[in-house]
Amino acid sequence: MQSRVQIQPDVSTPNKRRLNDSAGSGGLPTPKQQRSGNKQFQDNEIILDATGDNQQVDSTSKYIKQHKIPFDQVKRAVSSNLPCFLISFHPINEDQKVPSAFKAADQVFEYLKQQNVQINRFSFVGWAGAKLKLGVNGKEDYINLVSTEKWPTSIMNIPITIEKPKFIPDCFALVIRYIPRGMDFEFVKEEISRSIASVVNLKRIQYSYNRKTDDYRFHVKDLQEYNRALNMRRISIGNVIVPITQFLEGNKLTYCTRCWRLGHIRNKCSAPTARCRICLQEITDIQRHNCSQQPRCAQCDGNHHSLSSQCESIKAYKMQLKEEVDNALARGVIHRSEPNK
What does residue 72 show for φ and ψ, rounded to 5 degrees? -65, -30
Residues 90-141 pLDDT 10s: 999 988 999 999 999 999 999 999 999 999 999 999 998 899 999 998 899 9
CB 198 within 8 A of CB 221: yes
**Considering only 26-35, 71-80, 255-264, which range has the smallest mean pLDDT?**
26-35
What does residue 327 show for φ and ψ, rounded to 5 degrees? -65, -45
- Domain spanning 1-24+38-57+65-78+169-251: CATH 3.30.70.330: yes
Residues 242-254 pLDDT 10s: 999 999 888 889 9
Cβ neighbors of 176 (< 8 A, separation 6 or more) are 192, 215, 216, 218, 235, 237, 242, 243, 244
Residues 279-318 pLDDT 10s: 999 998 888 889 999 999 999 999 999 999 889 999 999 9
The full DSSP string for 14-78 is P-PPP---TT-TTPPPPPHHHHHTSTT--TTEEE-PPTT-THHHHHHHHHHHH----HHHHHHHT
Give the integer Cα–Cα distance in Å for 14 and 48.
Answer: 8
Q: Which amino acid is at 283?
A: I
Give the integer Cα–Cα distance in Å for 220 and 229.
Answer: 9
Residue 158: its H or E element: strand 158-163
What's this model's pTM, rounded to 2 decimal places?
A: 0.63
Mean pLDDT for all residues in the chain = 82
Domain residue extents for the chain: 1-24+38-57+65-78+169-251, 85-163
